[in-house]
Structure 1
């Protein structure tokens, strides 16, 4: 086994021919290697080196492993080639013993009919080795052909063209799909075997796949005298042809439109459920209040329709009209769409007879109350209610009555829409009303822009709540008589699940 000072041997797959199909790892190792070795023919040209050339450095040591013969028809081909494998392994071992890493270049994949494997089995027990896989010539040929080799449960058989003709014919007749490699002088025999197996009309010929010299043709039309060694015969997937034909014959499917009301959560992608993400990704149109639409990543395939926050009915009608025309529409809401948001507006409009054939779905989202509560601990740990202080859609007398009823019932109260630039007195009025039924020390969680860049969460006494610091981006959680704040005056509060008898 090698010492720690020995170099490391790398067998690096370079893919079928296009230098851009070299993996990032292969390119890095080739560029960094002190020694680069590659097999070549007697004329000195190496396909592997030509693929790797963009990644080579002028100062690298190159070891050309030149094949002594070019055909297995040589009388003692195996004996001659094995002697050279031994000699080449000794040359590489000298570099490794000197502490130099060696990268052996291999077109395609090193372990798929690759020449590197002969170095690997001779040196792996003595030195550290690593094999970097590459795109195989079979994969490259299939990609160039634009036809899958296998689909569903089909079986792919890879055969060398050097097999006896009867064996080739038997294997080709028995398999679903096939790739026959090592053509060149074996091409005539392979063609005869395909014909004998009744598969010649299905067969394709791919030469030098992914290179500038690539050629693709029906195999039956190829002149045997023009076939180089680096070519492949392919029998692509039969199932694919059948399913493609069925698709072509099938009537066009008209997309069914729908409206999906999607809760975005309080802020950011991390607060979005996978179900909501999938609905947004599938949508053709996104409809919503402008700032909420801005929270959905742009996709040029989709059309975005922003509108003001005060036109909920018009927005719902627009979304439903798009869906009636076959569009998949996502109506976005902050938080949960069913909590003071767009779900109710869409469903109310959708209940009109003219929209009866337009399906509407509602996907939940994390509510602002849940988000703020989580930042403070567990203030919603027992019975609670949710109220909006906005008097745009209901009169203040109704709001005040519900607020007083919740206070008398000793419920924790989550307050949405507490104030805005045009609504400045509601928080003061609510505070005054609550103090008639709650102690001055009642914990109040003041959460602003939770999940956003300006997040702020504070816990104050009800008596110390400052209405001027509350705006539309703020949510309040008013504790019950049982809500507790930790004794160290921290920002942690909770409401016990047990209520005193």
Structure 2
């Protein structure tokens, strides 16, 4: 409520009317309308106002009615400011009309379908008037709540996330957000319906989606969205993707393995596509540390194992899929970079798993995450090498380091050390010093994105193997890589794109 005024004025009310059924108006909404001097409502040029029709039984003959008639809806305009400019001028003129009543000491009730501040037209009056006059907003039942009630199904349960989306978003944005959330409601259908339907299909949520038209109003219709005729869809309709807990997706026609990367740390590094795959999986398979990053969802089976049994883990996941399960194999970073994608594809290339569908979804790599924290050391050509000699001999590693160093490539060094591998970093440093200046910058990045994150830039000659463990990645600069101390006393490093 806003009461910052130097002279008596009328009071502004934004009155939520609910989704359409007059009996769903709140007692407070009825009281405010009854006491108002002026009742304002938006309408199209045909003059009919849905908001007025909802509140009609509460209007008095002596009410002053202000019909705020839009100059246009979706058609084109020759206004110099375009569609948005024409609407802005209309809102300014409408606000001025209401301000005149308020200045005269009259109470003004602006009617709004649903809730006034939920995609409502009232908000444009609120932004222009609420800081000037005493104002109260009366909340109303939203179309989202009405749609869920009419479908008779929970929208969200437990720790599920509900996402509200306008259908006017681009198709790719809609698909990404639909894939990443547990439950969703898409508003503003009408002519956007074909786009929304394609986005639901791309995000593999179409089978779950329900359609609700004019909830609680005359002409109400509900059904499966996939069966809805696009030509029959009005603006006052919504798409609902309800709770997965209450409405678990149908079992897949055939099993599948999706190999996903969780990035270098927690949920901030997950892609929308990966979030969707993790949410829709029936089984999660992975190294315990990586599985712990994935939220626990009711109905999912989690199969954790040690980090040294990659082939066995891959075969277990493929066997589950062969039995018709939807399986997500959880990996750290990007699953195709020194991670689980190779192990899964290797087993999937042999009988009896050749026919099991396998998809690999990309993830944020440790190298790219570390580089971003330090600046842009990977701004030019670079090579990626693992210093682990568990799966290849050190001689091969050394040969590749020499070749990359001789080619003056920036190096991203994965798996530089662990409790049982303590000498590799020192050997790699000494080898690289045969080709690089002692002052070559090295990014030492540990636990990037995690609670113990540490990112430092040191000279190659000063690289201390004792500070490197299995949670560390090293980025070794080329002869062109620069280090600069900025005004805030932080150091950044980058490799120019032009090779001097």
Give the SS at the match of 2:491: coil
Q: Which residue of 1 is the match for residue 83 of structure 2?
A: none
Stretches of structure 1 lacking an aligned partner (at least 5 in a row) = 40-62, 64-88, 97-107, 154-176, 180-208, 210-231, 245-251
User: Of the two, which has the highest radius of gyration?
Assistant: 1
Does residue 473 (structure 1) correspond to residue 467 (structure 2)? The answer is no
Q: Which residue of 2 is the match for residue 133 of structure 1?
A: 113
Q: Which residue of 2 is the match for residue 427 of structure 1?
A: 425
Q: Which residue of 1 is the match for residue 408 of structure 2?
A: 410
Q: Which residue of 1 is the match for residue 328 of structure 2?
A: 330
Cα-to-partner distance string for 1:440-467 (whole Å, 9 max, x where unaligned): 1111111111111211111110111111
Cα-to-partner distance string for 1:350-378 (whole Å, 9 max, x where unaligned): 00021011011111111111111111111
8 A contact 1:258–1:327 mirrored in 2: yes
Cα-to-partner distance string for 1:128-181 (whole Å, 9 max, x where unaligned): 3322535599x979956979xxxx99xxxxxxxxxxxxxxxxxxxxxxx999xx
- Distance, in Å, in 1 between the alignment partners of 2:151 and 2:399 is 74
Q: Which residue of 1 is the match for residue 64 of structure 2?
A: 122
- Distance, in Å, in 1 between the alignment partners of 2:468 and 2:426 is 10
Cα-to-partner distance string for 1:398-425 (whole Å, 9 max, x where unaligned): 2122112222222111000111112111
- Distance, in Å, in 2 between the alignment partners of 1:383 and 1:408 is 13
Query: Does the C-alpha gap of structure 1 residues 254 and 490 become closer, same or farther in structure 2, counting only changes over 3 Å?
Result: closer
8 A contact 1:337–1:365 mirrored in 2: yes
8 A contact 1:13–1:109 mirrored in 2: no
- Distance, in Å, in 1 between the alignment partners of 2:425 and 2:151 is 70
Q: Which residue of 2 is the match for residue 249 of structure 1?
A: none
Deviation of 1:473 (Å): 0.8
- For normalisation by structure 2, the TM-score amounts to 0.59
What does 1:246-285 align with in structure 2 at a 5 Å threshold? 255-285=253-283
Cα-to-partner distance string for 1:278-329 (whole Å, 9 max, x where unaligned): 2112211111111111111221132111111111001101110111111111
Stretches of structure 2 lacking an aligned partner (at least 5 in a row) = 40-49, 67-97, 115-140, 154-188, 191-211, 229-249
Give the SS at the match of 2:298: coil
Query: Does the C-alpha gap of structure 1 residues 318 and 141 become closer, same or farther in structure 2, counting only changes over 3 Å?
Result: closer
Q: Considering only aligned residues, what root-mean-square deviation do their CA atoms show, in Å?
A: 4.2
Give the SS at the match of 1:366: coil
Query: Does the C-alpha gap of structure 1 residues 10 and 439 become closer, same or farther in structure 2, counting only changes over 3 Å?
Result: closer
- Distance, in Å, in 2 between the alignment partners of 1:129 and 1:416 is 65
8 A contact 1:268–1:451 mirrored in 2: yes
Give the SS at the match of 1:404: helix
What does 1:25-424 align with in structure 2 at a 5 Å threshold? 36=31, 111-112=53-54, 114-118=56-60, 121-122=63-64, 126=101, 127=106, 128-134=108-114, 237=221, 255-424=253-422
Query: Does the C-alpha gap of structure 1 residues 499 and 241 become closer, same or farther in structure 2, counting only changes over 3 Å?
Result: closer
Q: Which residue of 1 is the match for residue 9 of structure 2?
A: 6
Deviation of 1:14 (Å): 6.3
Query: Does the C-alpha gap of structure 1 residues 145 and 487 become closer, same or farther in structure 2, counting only changes over 3 Å?
Result: closer
Give the SS at the match of 1:486: strand
